Structure 1
Amino acid sequence: MRSVRKTNRQHSSPPPRWPVYRHVIFDCDSTLTRIEGIDELASHPDTRQRIADLTRSAMEGKVHLETVYGERLEILRPTRGAVRALRSRYRKHVVKDAAALIQALKVLGHEVYIVSGGLFDPVREFGLHLGVAAEHIRAVEVEYDTLSGSWWQDQDPWREEYLAVQHSVLTESDGKAQIIRELLQNQTGRSLLVGDGVSDLLAGREVDLFVGFGGVIGRDRVASESKVFIQSQSIAPVLLLAAGTTALEHSGDAGVQALAGKAHALIQSAALRWNEVRLAEKFAACFGARATIGSERDL
């Protein structure tokens, strides 16, 4: 492992400029919020562990997501009300600086998206809470059984139990790639994706830069195969990766500048690990920041 720092040597050519990634796409669970929504639906400790194990296996790429997605919900059979309650849990466990990051990106003119394998209702509400436009949020919708429980007594619809997952490619390991491709179709400008799981890593081929996030859970494959990996609990470093030097230098917004300063300090403390030397050197030269290069065994 070694670090690359900006040198003081003079060059005749203009200083390098970090590119602007106009389209910034986030995963939700374990990226913008510190929880895994479906795992939170389990009330009994034994069931919770079983569900968490299935989720972990899928997120680490040990099994295909499509083999466990429906299985988890069949085990849990959550009510509509229980799924709705995830809204407040997402907000309670928001990742450090996530709200400020999305606000800063919007100030700088970026298009912000959430593409998640989580459940649509809580993911959508959480995204709106953070300031993401409704039309830029994608997640998995489910159907509820209107004949469950004491249906003949005109029961509260929030007690309706899970029936089935509506068909969605987001329940598949490689499904995010298709959704991102559709979102970016006919769009101009570079794109960046931030996520913690292997499904995010696989979708990285549809964007110009994939950023692995390990601030909640560090997954070995994501850490070793992403071009750059964030290992701080704060997601603030995404601002420098996405906005580029030009946008930051020309922004008079106090919130943007404050978050940029925090991101720079985190990066100087080795918040980023790079797996691509060329990008690491360019980043260090552009921002005068530390760019730590780590091999797979270092991560």
Structure 2
Amino acid sequence: MSFDVICFDCDSTLSKIEGIDELARRVGLGDEMSRLTDAAMNGEVLLEAVYEKRLSLIRPDRDSINWLADLYIEQLVDGVKEVFEALTAPGKELHIISGGIRQAILPLARCLGLPEAQVHAVDIYFNADDSYRDYDQSSPLARSGGKAEICRRLLKSQGSLVMIGDGKTDMEAKQAGAFVIGFGGVVDRPVVREQADFYSAEPSLVSILAHIL
């Protein structure tokens, strides 16, 4: 199959880390946050049930977000750059759709040659002293079904869209008529294996290329 619009999740898909868990570890809340993230990604709880709770406990400041941005790039999944180069060449439209923090994902997107307008994630807001204030509570990506909402916006009336990701929230893109590829190269989730149209547990993202081009 060939797709006009190609969308990637970020955490555990483009980068080997879960950003929110790394921020939690940095302030000594690692285990508790990992459990919440896993529950949401496995579809055991709704994303909105854990989103606000995680951020209000961690309260990441601007410094933490810059640190996380570097970590995303440092922990890039094998084959990501090759995949983006291969897909950029035919003039496809590439997007990142993530429930992660937009300010931390933008440097990774720049590193892959992706314009800011093609990064869909959740903005956070800081106080004048760079401490955490709030997040964009109106963002669809902070709740279940949000990725389907973004995919609907991106799908042209005649176009076709593929979503690549590792979690239950990525599988929701099917509600928008997207073809979904489950990537289990970082985290192998049974719910994704069951629901994806195609599934790859290979550690390199290059394994998905044959199913996109």
Fold similarity call, TM over 0.5: yes
Q: Distance in 2 between matches of 1:43 and 1:64?
A: 22
Question: Which residue of 135, 142, 147 corresponds with 1:171?
Answer: 142
Give 1:215 shift. Answer: 0.5
Query: Within the alignment, does 1:114 sit opposite 2:96 as a pair?
Result: yes
Cα offset, 1:120, TM superposition? 0.5
Hey, what does 1:37 align to over in structure 2? 19
Return the match for 1:225 from 195, 199, 202.
195
Counterpart Cα distance in 2 of 1:60 and 1:41: 20
Gaps in structure 1 of 5+ consecutive residues:
1-18, 147-156, 244-299
Counterparts of 1:72 and 1:208 in 2: how far apart (Å)? 29
Tell me if 1:137 matches 2:137: no
Matching residue of 2:212: 242
Residue pair 1:22, 1:242 contacting (<8 A) in 2 also: no
In 2: Cα distance, 1:58 partner to 1:143 partner: 23
Is 1:216 the counterpart of 2:186 in the alignment?
A: yes
- TM-superposed CA distance for 1:90, in Å, is 0.5
Q: Which has the larger radius of gyration?
A: 1
Letter in 2 for 1:105: L
CA distance in 2, matches of 1:207, 1:25: 13
Provide Cα deviations, 1:263-295, integer angstroms capped at 9, x if missing partner: xxxxxxxxxxxxxxxxxxxxxxxxxxxxxxxxx
CA 1:49–1:35 in structure 2 vs 1: closer, same or farther (change >3 Å)?
same
Per the alignment, residue 261 of structure 1 pairs with none
For 1:287, the equivalent position in structure 2 comes to none
Identity of aligned residues (%): 33
CA distance in 1, matches of 2:150, 2:49: 19
Q: Does 1:26 align with 2:20?
A: no
**Aligned equivalents of 1:198, 1:26: Cα separation in 2:** 14
SS where residue 3 of structure 2 aligns?
Answer: coil
Indicate yes or no: 2:52 matched with 1:70: yes
Give, in angstroms, the shift of residue 208 of structure 1: 3.8
Counterparts of 2:148 and 2:195 in 1: how far apart (Å)? 16
**Does structure 2 conserve the Cα–Cα contact (< 8 Å) formed by 1:193 and 1:207?**
no
Alignment of 1:161 with 2:96, yes or no, is no
* Residue 201 in structure 1 maps to residue 183 in structure 2: no
Cα RMSD, aligned residues only: 1.5
Is residue 2:109 matched to residue 1:127?
yes
What is the letter of the counterpart of residue 27 of structure 1?
Answer: D
Aligned to 1:183: 154
Shift of 1:207: 3.9
Contact 1:192 1:207 (8 Å CA) reproduced: no
Q: Deviations over 1:64-103 (max 9, x none)?
A: 1101111111111111111121111001100110111011
Q: Which aligned runs of 4 or more in structure 1 are off by greater than 4 angstroms? A: none
The residue matched to 1:24 in structure 2 has which SS? strand
What letter matches 1:49 in structure 2? Answer: D
